Structure 1
Amino acid sequence: MPTLPTPPVLPLDLLTTIQERRTVDLSALKPDPIPRPVLEGLLEAANWAPSHGQTEPWRFVVFTGAGRATLARTLSTSLVLLKGQTEPDPETLKMQLARQQLAPVWMVVAAEPSEKPRMPLYEEQWAVACAVQNLMLAARSQGIGSKWISNPPSLHPNTASSLGFAEGAIMMGMLYLGYVRDDPADWPAGKRRPVREKVRWIEDEQHQ
């Protein structure tokens, strides 16, 4: 009997995508690479985030394949600098290299305000957060898991300078991405309290 081709992953509708986007553990990811056109599509989704004044401050550096070793070396150096040392020891570098191999794609994210910013810096950071959310939702719609990390090494000035971000860039952490293994349990179930607990409605004029 001939083997049937694997059906393509169909994008989810928007509300389902929002409800089912979850942080996915590294252990739940397949090692399969994500094709470059798919990654470019996710970055295109990020590029349509809102930004006050149309500043578009989001910046990404993408690491795949052997390029992940560059990120591992950078983070190892940032980690030891945080500890007051200057060079990563072999064990630290080995551990970081192993960690970067657990996801096929890593992205370091920053906000790069203009030299003469017209908007408050916090608004530039908010815009980047919107871009990251766009990217993670687009990923979820195609069966790709993600996690946004903002640990000290990813935010360190050494990480910014080593990866070529502009002077004055505000580091916003990093993401990892990967296709999720076939076990449905690898997609964590989400839970939220009722939205009515978090909303107040004012439908008539209030007199003080």
Structure 2
Amino acid sequence: MEYNVEEINRLIRHRRSVFPKQYAEGKTVDEAIVRQILENATWAPNHGQTEPWKFVVFSGEGLQKLATFQAELYKKESAANFKEATYQNLLANPLKASHVIAICLKRDPNKKFPEQEEIAAVSCAVQNMYLTTAAYGLGGYWTTGGVTYKASAKEFFGLGEDDKLLGFFYLAHVAVPSPDSKRKPLDEKVEWVKS
């Protein structure tokens, strides 16, 4: 198979996180595109073909359901650490997106492989989502805020005791593009061992 390597390189280098304040609110991403993004996610590498990912997709009225759930759980469990601004963001941000996809890790029941390998596989799936989102000219953002690490949130997403909620992937049309990004020189990050 032959691919346009320059286009692939360009796609990887121009992938950006696009945050809720940058979204074209009220503009819905076609469901066929969302399905393609998720299909590409499932082609991520994963040890032993465990395919440890699960995605819960919120759109339409489902966005309000997610917003209310996470804001109220935050309010209930934050006690003295409660911040009104955080509560309001949890209520508002999902409604700015076209879709919000809960990123979940479903542990292999046999636990053949270490959990960190399954987390890495789900992370690779999210990178596929990011790249596909960018290829369609859309905006995406993986956040681990809100209720991500709360055990009490698992049931809402259909997760068992050994499973994990790893965050949310926001998806939307872009109103305000993200600025260009830079990376440190490759030689600062790579050590070559040739003999």
**TM-score after normalising by structure 1:** 0.82
**Percent identical across equivalent pairs?**
31
Indicate how the Cα distance of structure 1 residues 198 and 83 shifts in structure 2: closer, same or farther if over 3 A, else same. Answer: same
C-alpha contact 1:72 1:93 (8 A) present in aligned 2: no
Q: 1:18 to 1:115 in 2, by over 3 A?
A: same
Deviation of 1:154 after TM superposition, in Å, equals 2.2
Partner letter of residue 110 of structure 1? C
The 5-angstrom pairing of residues 2-13 of structure 1 reads 13=7
Indicate whether 1:191 and 2:182 are aligned. yes
The answer to whether the Cα contact below 8 Å between 1:149 and 1:175 also exists between their aligned partners in 2 is yes
Q: Please list every run of 5 or more consecutive structure 1 residues that lacks an aligned counterpart in the other structure.
A: 1-11
Question: Aligned Cα RMSD in Å?
Answer: 2.3
Range 99-108 or range 163-172, more displaced: 163-172
Residue 113 of structure 2: aligned partner: 119
Q: Which residue of 1 aligns with 2:73?
A: 78
Deviations 1:131-163 (A, max 9, x none): 001111110011111111112522212222112
Gaps of 5+ in 2: 1-5
> Once superposed, which parts of structure 1, at least 4 consecutive aligned residues long, lie more than 4 Å away?
91-95
Matches within 5 A, 1:6-155: 13-31=7-25, 32-84=27-79, 96-155=90-149
Q: Which amino acid aligns with 1:13?
A: E
Amino acid in structure 2 at the alignment position of 1:106: V
Task: Say if 2:75 and 2:87, in contact at 8 Å, map to a contact too.
Answer: no
Structure 1 residues 139 and 92: alpha-carbon distance in aligned structure 2, compared to 1, 3 A threshold: closer
**Given the two structures, how large is their TM-score scaled by the length of structure 2?**
0.87
- Residue aligned with 1:60, SS: strand
Larger Rg: 1
SS at match of 1:180: coil
Deviation at 1:92, TM superposition (A): 7.9
Q: Helix, strand or coil for the counterpart of 1:79?
A: helix
| Pair 1:173-2:173 in alignment | no
Distance 2:19 2:87 in 1: 21
SS of the aligned residue for 1:155 comes to coil
Q: Which residue of 2 aligns with 1:157?
A: 151
8 Å Cα contact 2:67-2:95 kept in structure 1: no
